[in-house]
Amino acid sequence: MLLDALMKATLGRRPKAQVPPPNAPRYTSERGGHVESWFLRANHPTEPRALWLKATLLAPLPGRGGDGGPPTADAWAIAFDGARGRTYATRATFPLELARFAADDLGTTAELGPCAFRFGSEGMAQGALDDPQDGHVAWDLRWRPTGGALAPPLLLFPFEGMLERGFPRSKLVSPAPAVAFDGALEVFGERWDLTGWYGMQGHNWGREHAPEYAWGQSLFTDADGAPHCLVEAFSARIRLGGRLSPRFSAMVVRRGAQTYRFDRTLDFWRQRAHIDDLRWTLRLGSRDGEARLEMEAAADAMVCLGYRNPDGRLAYCYNSKLARVELKVNPVNEDAFTCTSAHGGALELLTPERDPRFPRVV
């Protein structure tokens, strides 16, 4: 009955909510219990190399004794070098009062210590961090939409108004799901030229991280190295009456000028989500047809990130940007197609459980 009520509240007829631009900050200083992130990832078009950057703010909930701690901001940087089997991972934490997250007509600016980001129709990122274990990293990047039908903002929820309503407690949107990069990255004592790399920019926020989720995104390139198809998907559990729900899943596929949506998140009869170690398999059906997504990452191409919730709970996000991807879609009244990528997938698996294969938590 509770799921039926959620179905009616989420899918029923309600006045359309006013939705801010996809990169607009949702945090206000009067609001306790909030976590929010802007992130981007870039992949080399042919080699197993990738970069992930993120700017995060966290406003803790007040504790039983009063103050839950001051709000903070984090800058994260991860570089993956699959050819040499190495990863770089670090983050720096700053008092939120010394950081800045601001929106204007052109987008959102985030400034955290030596790191600056501009999230808009086009974007930039400049910064440098030092890690006691992995050493120095610095970046100076620009990105722009690839153009065409792959580039507009992408929402995995069935209705845009869900971004502003109470359900679900965690929100996500990809303001720029297909972008081209130029610029440079200094890491491992080397300089990487990122010109011609492809990737995406995302934004998520909410009162907490979902207790468990899998999220993935991949761009598939043609013989000339240009993106012609993308997939983004998630499977997540939420708390209902003190218990974890079944997995809610959704997927959007864009190929050429066509979009195939598998986003009826509460339709449990047409979804099968399975997480087996570091492999995630998702099968979904909708009025657009059927789709199957499989993503898998090797442990040595993954890092463990500690995601703190506003109530102080710590979750573990196993993050790779070098995942193997296989997408199969059987559209209604169209020919079926398959897209694969050997190491171009962004895969994140979040769980409350610590994996002993990852002794370091960034």
Tell me the whole-structure pTM to 2 decimals. Answer: 0.91
- Give the pLDDT band of residue 67 (cuts 50, 70, 90): low
Q: How confident is the model at residue 12 (pLDDT cuts 50, 70, 90)?
A: very low
What is the average per-residue pLDDT within 290-305? 97
pLDDT at 7 over 80: no
The tokens describing 300, both together, are: 């040595």
The per-residue pLDDT for range 186-207, each reduced to its tens digit, is 999 999 999 999 999 999 999 9
> Helix (H, G, I), strand (E, B), or coil: what is residue 123?
strand
Q: What is the set of domains in the chain, with CATH numbers?
A: 25-351 (2.40.370.10)
Q: Which helix (H) or strand (E) holds 141?
A: strand 135-145
ω into 168 cis (within 30 of 0): yes
Tell the residue number behind the tokens 């949702």, with chain if given: 26
Candidates 273, 255, 271; CA nearest to 331 is: 255
Q: Is 244 within 8 Å of 237 (Cβ atoms)?
A: yes
pLDDT, position 151: 95
pLDDT digits (tens, 9 = 90+) for 220-249: 998 888 899 999 999 998 877 778 878 889
- Measured torsion, CA atoms of residues 149, 197, 26, 109, in degrees rounded to the nearest 10: -120
3-state secondary structure of 103: strand
- Scored b (16 or more CB within 10 A) or e, 111-135 reads bbeebbbbbbeebebebbbeeeebe
Place of tokens 């995942």: 323
Residue 65 pLDDT > 80, yes or no? no
Percent of the chain with pLDDT over 90: 74
Quote the CA–CA distance of 206 and 23 in Å, as a whole number. 14
Burial 331-341 (b: 16+ CB within 10 A, else e): beeeeeeebeb
Band (pLDDT 50/70/90 cuts) for residue 268 is low
Q: How far is CA 181 from the centre of its chain?
A: 18
Average pLDDT of the segment spanning 323-338: 97
**Which pLDDT belongs to residue 16?**
54
The pLDDT of residue 246 = 82
In this prediction, residue 30 carries a pLDDT of: 64
pLDDT at 223: 82
- Do the Cβ atoms of 271 and 282 come closer than 8 Å? yes
Q: What's the average model confidence in pLDDT over 11-31? A: 72
Query: What is the token pair recorded at 129?
Result: 């961090």
* Residue closest to 291 by CA, chosen among 237, 252, 325: 252
Write out the DSSP string of 298-338. Answer: -GGG-EEEEEE-TTS-EEEEEEEEEEEEEEEEEETTS--EE
Q: What is the pLDDT of residue 14?
A: 44
Query: Region 307-312: what's the mean pLDDT?
Result: 92
